[in-house]
Structure 1
Amino acid sequence: MTGTPALEQHPSNPFVDGVVRRSDMVAAGHSNYSLATRCRPGGPWQPILPGILLLANSPPNRRQRLKAAVLYARNEAVITGSEALREHDLILTDTTEVSILIPDNRRLSARGYVRVERTSRMPKPVILNGLPFAPPHRAAVDAARHSRDPTDQRMLLFSPVHAGLCSLDDIRTELKACSQRGTAALRPLLDESATPVLTSTVHQGWAKRVINQAPVPNPEWNVPVYNGSGKPLGVADAWWDEVALAWDFDNQRDDGADRREERFTKAGLVLVRTSLPELRGNPEDVVRELTLGFLHAASRPRPKVQAHR
């Protein structure tokens, strides 16, 4: 058969990215001889993985490499590890390896740049740009398990937590349930003694993601606030000194938080209170509340309060 079937140009068919299974090409009308001829050195096409062809003679781009890995692993395959974290916009580092999860009742060898891991705990994939990726907490643990650098391990493990895409409990649960290979160095990172400090940092990470979406200036963080006489009123999780606006997001609704709210209000501060579930799961409403709070604070005379850093 001569010429390239027009199928590969149509976005609704499996040839759209220029990465196809050899069997699909045969089904589309190519003979084995035609495929072998086109995939010779210097030819217009090339094999990229066993049974997978790239319909170009240039190096594959990232999208083509990922699609080829999924086609090679076939049914139920899920991309995990660093490439999944990158797709979730958590890391920018380009990697040479693609980690693929497959059910443990299947047999498939690692080939080329594809690392294959069999698991009895297949995650429900998150479909991004048409490809299946592990959810952030699973991808983070899988990536960290295969790293040997402590700095990279910490960055990989906690990147989705700092970004507000999962909780520390999600990471902790995944570590307990996952394969034990490569986890010995990770478990101390979740030592209970470090959890309060890390948790506060994580909550601030969620808050910073919200601030990046809000039309307000960047605040200062964890600022002690005092009234005009120098009496302490409490610590604002975020503070806009020019308008005396406080944002409280790192405290549960308890007596201490309520008393701080009362002191702030009596001193004339504008206070926006956001629950942690709202902060993590409803950023659009939080952006709206912060914007309205800032406008309200800017429209009234600034009270005589002071902040000590």
Structure 2
Amino acid sequence: MTHDAPLSPRSLSHLSDVHRRVLTAVQLRAHGVTPAEQTEQCRPGGPWRELLPNVVLLHPGPPTGEERLHGALLYAARAAAQAVPVQPTSASAHRPRYAEAVLTGLAALTLHGFSHTPAPDALDRVDVLVPRLRRLRSTGYVRVLRTADLPVPHPVSGLPVAPVPRALADAVAELTDAEAVRRLLTEAVRGGHCEPVAVVRELTRAKLLGRAHVVAAVDSLVAEGRSAAEDRLYRMVRECGLPDPVWNVDLRLPGGPHLGGVDAYWPDHAVAVELDTRAPLPDHRDDDALWSEYARKREHLERLGITVVYTTPKKLRDCPEQQAAVVRTALMASGDRDPAAYVVVLPRWPG
């Protein structure tokens, strides 16, 4: 018995094209293909080929990028998730197809839409996260990364993909080119994929901030993130019809101490806006200490009658109208407050 037409179209009608083209040995058994028949079909010059151990490509040509990603996940997935019933049931329709396997690294970033990563068919290696206790070796083009904390995947094109910050950290762990690292981190923020704080948190967790080229890229990332957040703040004020503030200023008491810098200030209303762009920094300053600095400054300013509105890059991105309403309320309430202390407003110079 031969299998030039590998599997019954009827038995595969519930699968997508790529799932018809790449199957595991377990799945082939479920469709009635014996081990001997599989071996025969995968012979040199035969109609099938072994893509990875126990993963079969059901055509003789090179795999597409989609097939390579699908094959990597099938190789790494828990075996119980690989069996496909001949006739799907309502229960099997919702079973995770790639249980305990998540794409990460450059492959994941490509799927997230990054422009500075190779296309799936050009990747030398595909990184897949699996639980730490899984016994699974890297093989072929698949690199297995064990982790005690398997991230909740984002579905992209039907594939389980690590969130951008985790995928970045796993990619950066293998990169020694400082410019390549900087491009990836910058694109993550400039492209709106995530905020700098999330990226730096993952780099810290992965213990990558001891590498000089990563620290340099993080400096660029933090600057990029603050610039993007300032642009969002300018846009919020303009598009939501708020009165123009003075931007990026230092506040001082006349002949007295420096009170701190703020990102926007309305002198006639004594209302300030400050961006909270805290992130774990390469010098390992404690995040609680950074927040204490914010809190002390806010308390001091409010004792002088100045209302301080804190906002974050994420809030400005996701709900600018809501943030504008908070600022507008503070401006309108200024007439009901006691007059604020007189303060000197000076340009805030970089550095």
Query: Contact between 1:145 and 1:181, CA under 8 Å: does it hold in 2?
Result: no
Query: Contact between 1:9 and 1:15, CA under 8 Å: does it hold in 2?
Result: no
User: RMSD of aligned C-alpha atoms?
Assistant: 3.5
Shift of 1:93: 2.0
CA distance in 1, matches of 2:210, 2:137: 20
Q: 1:120 aligns with which of 139, 144, 148?
A: 148
SS of the residue aligned with 2:113?
Answer: coil
TM-score, normalised to structure 1, is 0.65
Query: Contact between 1:22 and 1:53, CA under 8 Å: does it hold in 2?
Result: yes
Query: Contact between 1:77 and 1:102, CA under 8 Å: does it hold in 2?
Result: yes
Question: Within the alignment, does 1:38 sit opposite 2:66 as a pair?
Answer: no
1:302 matched residue in structure 2: none
Q: 1:85 aligns with which of 87, 91, 109?
A: 109
SS of the residue aligned with 1:42?
Answer: coil
Task: Map residues 229-308 of structure 1 onto 2, 5 A cutoff.
Answer: 254-255=265-266, 276-277=313-314, 279-281=316-318
Shift of 1:279: 4.6
Shift of 1:206: 7.5
1:2 matched residue in structure 2: 2
Q: Which amino acid aligns with 2:68?
A: R
Gaps of 5+ in 2: 79-99, 236-243, 249-261, 273-310, 323-351
Q: 1:65 aligns with which of 64, 68, 73?
A: 68
CA distance in 1, matches of 2:132, 2:209: 16
Q: Which amino acid aligns with 2:2?
A: T
Shift of 1:205: 8.4
1:103 matched residue in structure 2: 131
2:59 matched residue in structure 1: 56
Shift of 1:16: 2.8
2:293 matched residue in structure 1: none
1:172 matched residue in structure 2: 200
1:197 matched residue in structure 2: 223
2:160 matched residue in structure 1: 132
Shift of 1:233: 8.5
Shift of 1:256: 6.5
Gaps of 5+ in 1: 211-231, 237-250, 262-273, 287-309
Encode CA deviations 1:164-223: one digit per residue, 9 max, x unaligned.
Answer: 1211110111111125598553134334xx67632234347879xx9xxxxxxxxxxxxx
Query: Contact between 1:19 and 1:64, CA under 8 Å: does it hold in 2?
Result: yes
CA distance in 1, matches of 2:127, 2:231: 27
Q: Which amino acid aligns with 2:62?
A: P
CA distance in 2, matches of 1:278, 1:53: 47
Shift of 1:280: 2.4
Encode CA deviations 1:76-114: one digit per residue, 9 max, x unaligned.
Answer: 111001110110101352322101111111121110111
Are residues 275 and 68 of structure 1, via their aligned partners in 2, closer, same or farther at CA, if it must alter by over 3 Å?
A: same
Query: Contact between 2:208 and 2:214, CA under 8 Å: does it hold in 1?
Result: no
Are residues 257 and 34 of structure 1, via their aligned partners in 2, closer, same or farther at CA, if it must alter by over 3 Å?
A: farther
CA distance in 2, matches of 1:163, 1:275: 17
1:219 matched residue in structure 2: none
Task: Map residues 154-173 of structure 1 onto 2, 5 A cutoff.
Answer: 154-173=182-201
Query: Contact between 1:162 and 1:201, CA under 8 Å: does it hold in 2?
Result: no
CA distance in 2, matches of 1:10, 1:188: 52
CA distance in 2, matches of 1:113, 1:172: 28
Are residues 100 and 153 of structure 1, via their aligned partners in 2, closer, same or farther at CA, if it must alter by over 3 Å?
A: same
1:307 matched residue in structure 2: none
Q: Which amino acid aligns with 1:93?
A: P
Q: Which amino acid aligns with 2:19?
A: V
Query: Contact between 1:163 and 1:206, CA under 8 Å: does it hold in 2?
Result: no
Instruction: Give me the identity figure in percent.
Output: 31
Query: Contact between 1:162 and 1:206, CA under 8 Å: does it hold in 2?
Result: no
Are residues 71 and 14 of structure 1, via their aligned partners in 2, closer, same or farther at CA, if it must alter by over 3 Å?
A: farther
TM-score, normalised to structure 2, is 0.58
CA distance in 2, matches of 1:45, 1:257: 76
Number of aligned residue pairs: give it: 234
Shift of 1:277: 3.6
CA distance in 1, matches of 2:209, 2:36: 44
Shift of 1:235: 6.7
Runs of 4+ in 1 over 6 A off after TM superposition: 204-207, 256-261
Query: Contact between 1:233 and 1:260, CA under 8 Å: does it hold in 2?
Result: no
Encode CA deviations 1:7-27: one digit per residue, 9 max, x unaligned.
Answer: 574243797341100121122
Shift of 1:254: 4.6
Q: Which amino acid aligns with 2:224?
A: L
CA distance in 2, matches of 1:190, 1:257: 38
CA distance in 2, matches of 1:21, 1:279: 46
